Amino acid sequence: MTLQIRPGELADVPLIADLIRGLARYEKLEHEVVMTEEKLTDTLFGERRYAETLIAESDGNPVGFALFFHNYSTFLAQPGIYLEDLFVVPNQRGHGIGRALLERLAQTAVDQGCGRLEWAVLDWNKDAIRFYEGLGAKPNSEWTVYRLAGESLRALAGE
């Protein structure tokens, strides 16, 4: 198996959309996906790029991806990277693809002077938790993530 990790490109939008749908199926959240290829094109490759992707290919076939964006730590006074999505297609798990994607992302963080790399994981995803902890990642259990979306977000915005 020859594994290659490369940045996502505009031509990858249909692939990225398929991988996002695969992740949503795995997380049992497919009903929440309203993403379209048009929205991905605009937000990943448009005038303002809100996130970046890495594509994993094994022998030229797409087998996974990571989607990430930069954030900022005021306490560190340094940028950071937030990993929004990491997904390896089910029949390719256990071959080091997820680790390779995270290694590349960690190298990107180091190269760009980032102070940290962070992400969230669903509580029930014990395999992912073991995997992340095996890499040396620590849970940030003192914090609870809050979210405003949809109607709540519009209401707070006064709409």
Multiple choice CATH, 3-156, 2.30.110.10, 3.30.70.60, 1.10.3720.10, 3.40.630.30 = 3.40.630.30
Candidates 50, 72, 82, 132; catalytic one: 132
Q: What is the pLDDT of residue 105?
A: 97
Instruction: Tell me the residue ranges of DSSP E strands in the chain.
Output: 3-7, 52-58, 61-73, 78-88, 117-119
Task: Tell me, yes or no, if 50 is annotated catalytic.
Answer: no
Residue 14: burial class (beta carbons within 10 Å; 0-12, 13-18, 19+): exposed
Residue 107 near residue 114, CB atoms below 8 Å: no
Q: What is the pLDDT of residue 1?
A: 74
24: alpha, beta or left? (left if phi > 0; alpha if psi -120 to 50): alpha
CA distance 139 to 134: 12
Q: What is the pLDDT of residue 97?
A: 97
pLDDT in tens, the chain (159 residues): 799 999 999 999 999 999 999 999 999 999 999 999 999 999 999 999 999 999 999 999 999 999 999 999 999 999 999 999 999 999 999 999 999 999 999 999 999 999 999 999 999 999 999 999 999 999 998 998 899 999 999 999 999
Q: What is the pLDDT of residue 141?
A: 87
CA distance 144 to 125: 17
Q: What is the pLDDT of residue 107?
A: 97
Cα–Cα distances in angstroms (integers) from residue 154 to residues 43, 104, 158, in the given order: 20, 37, 6
**DSSP summary character for residue 31:** G
CA distance 15 to 33: 15
